[in-house]
């Protein structure tokens, strides 16, 4: 018993020395357990973070301020560029519209025989000139309207309008186009809809844009225009059985001067109608959207609140 106490005491006295030798020994893999070096143990200890000096804090602040200043400058330059672009478009539109009106006026005078009777063939040519001129004038007016909307220069002329009256007027304007393509033009309006306080000309323009697109992209079947009550709104829609919109083009639908490559270009247009329609609907406090299935058709819809504040 006494010898056991002496050996235990000796082991305790020699323990620090043995630990030191163990740490100083090279790495061994004897029984599969790796023995770390002293340097490895030291490196595993948490290292103190370097203290931030006043100079490093000020340098970081200066870098942040420089980046913010550069971003603000770039934003101002982009805003100025956009303003100049809108102004240029508005000026060009004004300059184009004046001679176009003159061309259309003279063409109609010639067609009506004011300067003498013309053969039927020449009258047909004048009709084509008039149609092309009106199409170009519509494009110029769309560009001008878009520039005014961007500058917040469009004021709504609100009046009480029954929704069926708006639908019938828009449908009558495109009836000839639908007949030429042998499409069924359907007007579906819910009965007893209340009057809307709207700008008739502006929403008529929206429906006309949507109907023109629907007829343009539909080769067979039908185009439907309608309205129904949806809570505190009236929901208008234009639905077709056309080619639909590919998913990869969906994010460009309401962007101005954007056409859907490979889909829209063969059908003409400059890509302003939907962008303009979106802005006009939002000017009435409404929202516009669409649903589509490729090769099955598209439905564009927009909501107009029953009371515009």
Number of domains in the chain: 2
Residue carrying structure tokens 């979106």? 278
Q: Is the pLDDT of residue 286 over 80?
A: yes
CB-side neighbour CA atoms (13 Å) of 278: 13
Say if CB 134 and CB 169 are below 8 A apart. Answer: no
In-domain check, residue 42: no
Q: Is the domain of 135 the same as that of 185?
A: no
Check residues 196 and 17 and name the one with the higher pLDDT: 196
Q: Is the domain of 135 the same as that of 199?
A: no
Domain membership of residue 112 as a residue range: 79-150
From 120, 150, 180, the end of a domain falls on: 150
Q: What is the pLDDT of residue 194?
A: 94
Q: Is the domain of 134 the same as that of 178?
A: no
Q: Is the domain of 175 the same as that of 294?
A: yes
CB neighbours of residue 14 within 10 Å = 10
Say if CB 305 and CB 233 are below 8 A apart. Answer: yes
**Nearest residue to 84 (alpha-carbon basis) of 72, 76, 73:** 76
In-domain check, residue 53: no
In-domain check, residue 26: no
> What b/e sequence results for 97-130 when a residue is b if at least 16 CB atoms lie within 10 Å of its CB, and e otherwise?
beebeeebeebeebbeeeeeeeeeeeeeebeebb
Q: Is the domain of 146 the same as that of 165?
A: no
In-domain check, residue 173: yes
Q: Is the pLDDT of residue 116 over 60?
A: yes
Q: Is the domain of 239 the same as that of 202?
A: yes
Least confident stretch, 4-8, 70-74, 84-88, 212-216: 4-8
In-domain check, residue 105: yes
What's the CATH number where 265 sits? 3.30.565.10
Q: Is the pLDDT of residue 37 over 70?
A: no
Q: What is the pLDDT of residue 160?
A: 94
From 129, 150, 171, the end of a domain falls on: 150
Burial of residue 6 (CB within 10 Å: 0-12, 13-18, 19+) is: exposed
In-domain check, residue 261: yes
Q: Is the domain of 166 the same as that of 208?
A: yes
In-domain check, residue 252: yes
CB neighbours of residue 188 within 10 Å = 12
Q: Is the domain of 179 the same as that of 296?
A: yes
Q: What is the pLDDT of residue 284?
A: 93
Q: Is the domain of 206 the same as that of 139?
A: no
Q: Is the domain of 136 the same as that of 217?
A: no
Say if CB 245 and CB 253 are below 8 A apart. Answer: yes
Q: Is the domain of 140 the same as that of 165?
A: no
For 78-115, how does the pLDDT look when each residue is reduced to its tens digit (9 = 90+)? 877 767 766 776 677 667 777 888 888 888 888 888 88
User: How wide is the angle at C-alpha 256 spanned by C-alphas 253 and 257, nearest 5°?
Assistant: 105
CA distance 124 to 118: 10
Q: Is the pLDDT of residue 157 over 70?
A: yes
Tell me the average pLDDT of the chain: 78
The pTM (predicted TM-score) of the whole model is 0.61
CB neighbours of residue 64 within 10 Å = 10
From 119, 150, 181, the end of a domain falls on: 150
Contacts with 299 (C-beta within 8 Å, 6 or more apart), sequence order: 237, 238, 239, 240, 290, 291, 292
For 231-282, how does the pLDDT look when each residue is reduced to its tens digit (9 = 90+)? 999 999 999 999 988 888 877 788 765 554 444 444 455 567 888 899 899 9
What's the CATH number where 95 sits? 1.10.287
Instruction: Point out which residues pair with 302 in neighbouring strands.
Output: 236, 288
In-domain check, residue 30: no
Q: Is the domain of 169 the same as that of 280?
A: yes
């Amino acid at each position: 018993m006494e010898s056991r106490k002496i050996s235990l005491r000796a082991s305790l006295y020699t323990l620090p020395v043995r630990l030191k030798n163990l740490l100083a020994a090279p790495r061994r893999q004897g029984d599969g357990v790796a023995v770390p070096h002293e340097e490895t143990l030291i490196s595993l200890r948490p290292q103190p973070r370097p203290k931030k000096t006043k100079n490093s804090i000020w340098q970081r602040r200066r870098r942040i301020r420089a980046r913010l200043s550069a971003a603000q400058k770039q934003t101002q330059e982009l805003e100025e560029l956009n303003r100049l672009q809108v102004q240029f478009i508005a000026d060009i539109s004004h300059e184009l519209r004046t001679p176009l009106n003159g061309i259309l006026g003279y063409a109609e005078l010639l067609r009506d025989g004011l300067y003498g009777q013309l053969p039927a063939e020449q009258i047909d040519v004048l009709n084509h000139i008039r149609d092309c001129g009106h199409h170009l004038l519509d494009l110029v007016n769309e560009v001008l309207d878009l520039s005014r909307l961007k500058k917040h220069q469009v004021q709504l002329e609100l009046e009480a309008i029954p929704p069926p009256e708006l639908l019938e007027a828009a449908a009558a304007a495109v009836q000839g186009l639908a007949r030429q393509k042998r499409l069924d033009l359907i007007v579906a309006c819910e009965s007893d809809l209340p009057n809307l306080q709207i700008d008739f000309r502006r929403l008529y323009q929206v429906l006309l844009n949507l109907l023109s697109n629907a007829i343009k992209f539909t080769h067979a079947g039908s185009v439907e225009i309608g309205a129904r009550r949806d809570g505190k709104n009236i929901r208008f829609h234009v639905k077709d059985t056309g080619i639909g919109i590919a998913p990869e083009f969906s994010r460009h639908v309401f962007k101005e001067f954007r056409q859907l490559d490979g889909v829209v270009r063969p059908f003409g247009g400059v890509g302003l109608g939907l962008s303009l329609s979106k802005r006009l609907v939002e000017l009435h406090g409404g929202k516009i959207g669409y649903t589509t299935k490729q090769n099955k058709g598209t439905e564009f819809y927009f909501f107009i609140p029953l009371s515009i504040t």
